[in-house]
Amino acid sequence: MAKRIVIVGGGAGGTITANLLARNLHHELTTGQVVINMITNTPDHVYQPGFLYIVFDKVRSEEIVRKQRDLLDSHINLFVDPATKIDREHNVVHTQSGKEYPYDFLVVATGSRIVPETIPGLAEGGHFFYTLESAKKLRDALKDFEGGKVVISVGVPHKCPVAPLEITFMLYDYFKHKDMLDKVELQYTYPINRLHALEPVANWALPQFEGKGIKYEVLFNMEEVDPVKKVLKSMEGVEMKYDLLITVPPHKGAPVIEDSGMGKNGWVATNKQTLNNESYTNVYICGDTTDIPISKAGSTAHFEADVIAERISSQIQEGSTSTRYDGKVVCFVETGFDEATYVWFNYKNPPKPTPPSKMLHWMKLGYNRLYWLSAKGVL
């Protein structure tokens, strides 16, 4: 009987894994020895880093959304039918339509999502840019904004650790271009005791903030928002007035993870090197939904997908595997509208950011287009 690979989640990690598997296992797929089934919950594939550019009217939604079917190798079966339960004891995934998808190998790549409702008042009082709709809403609010205090605040945990700094620098340039810097006060807040989780990035950002007059409050964790009085309160006891509140709300994994008893708040116990879920050697976890204490980023999902595809292919073709994930993460960081920097690190090597340059900014813009080749497993 054919070996069945089921991939749950058609985002960055799931799509790259599926396409790499289709390439590695081309012979087995075309001769019926392997079947790849992808289960996802929407026919569209959204390039999430594009939301940042939607806010500033720099891209249109058509540029960051593609049909999932068009991104997948034609040998991969696609089912747009949300998974409702993953049963690891019986090796089967149940879906909303009542179907069952048995598997020999499973890849769970259901990502993470914002949960503003976990902070009282935030959904009513705050703006976000982590979904297409909220990014458009923020874009419109910025167009109408006539001046005042803009507070930027960050929930824990969250994906894309560089986005809070990027939006702050881009807001600065946005107001500068609109000749509004004299009417706007930018106030950044951050959960830990420096401007960014990555120490070298935090050290680099500090003089930038000081030079640009961006205020900052560190050790600030959102506790409550009063949308009527327009006050944000932190767990540390600070109260902050705002005219426009822009936040990265805290995140959780997909509901199917908790519903399947696979991990509190949707984070799945994952071996940081093999990417297996606990002792299940046929179950792999990819991307934001792992509980590995590293950045939740598209690049993380991509490098994990490389490892998972290699491991499953080898398990099928050779009966064993030795490929391991080394914790590699790569991030481009926009430092305004026309410069960017770049960091990479892994479990053993700490990050060393490169000085910002126009070229790195163009590389980030270039990657925004090249992403579609990444998703197809080409890049």
Partner 1 sequence: MADVKIDKTVDARGAACPGPLMELIKAMKSEDVGTVVEILSSEKGTSVDAPAWLKKVGQELVSVEQKGDYWSIVAKKIK
Ligand X SMILES: Cc1cc2nc3c(=O)[nH]c(=O)nc-3n(C[C@H](O)[C@H](O)[C@H](O)COP(=O)(O)OP(=O)(O)OC[C@H]3O[C@@H](n4cnc5c(N)ncnc54)[C@H](O)[C@@H]3O)c2cc1C
Q: What number of CA atoms fall less than 13 Å from residue 120's CA on the CB side?
A: 8
Of residues 168-227, which lie at the interface with partner 1 (CB under 8 A)?
191-193, 197-199, 219, 221
Q: SS3 of 367, please?
A: helix
> Is position 261 an interface residue for partner 1 (rule: CB under 8 A)?
no
Interface with partner 1 in residues 70-109 (CB under 8 A): none
* CB under 8 A, 24+ apart: contacts of 171-180: 171/246, 172/212, 172/214, 172/336, 173/336, 173/337, 173/338, 174/56, 174/142, 174/337, 177/337, 180/147
Q: Following DSSP, what letter does each residue of 59-119 receive, concatenated? A: S-HHHHEEEHHHHS-TTSEEEE--EEEEETTTTEEEETTS-EEE-SEEEE---EEE-GGGS
Does position 59 interact with partner 1 (CB under 8 A)? The reply is: no
> Does residue 264 interact with partner 1 by CB under 8 A?
yes
Binder among 9, 250, 298, 336 for partner 1 (CB under 8 A): 250
Binding pattern to partner 1, positions 340-379, x when CB under 8 A? Answer: -----x-xx-xx----------------------------
* 120 touches partner 1 by CB under 8 A: no
Q: Residue 11 or 125: which CB sits closer to ligand X?
A: 11
Q: Which of 240, 246, 237, 238 is nearest to 226 (CA)?
A: 240
**Adjacent-strand bridge partners of 154:** 248
Q: Do the beta carbons of residue 122 and residue 116 sit within 8 Å?
A: yes
Residue 9 CB, shortest distance to partner 1, in Å, is 21
Residue 163 contact partner, candidates partner 1, ligand X, none, CB within 5 to 8 A by sort of partner? ligand X
Binding stretches for ligand X (CB under 6 A): 8-14, 39-42, 48-49, 51-52, 82-83, 109-111, 129-130, 159-160, 163, 254, 256, 287-289, 296-299, 301, 331-332
Binding site for partner 1 (CB under 8 A): 156-157, 161, 191-193, 197-199, 219, 221, 235-237, 250, 264-265, 293-295, 327, 329, 345, 347-348, 350-351
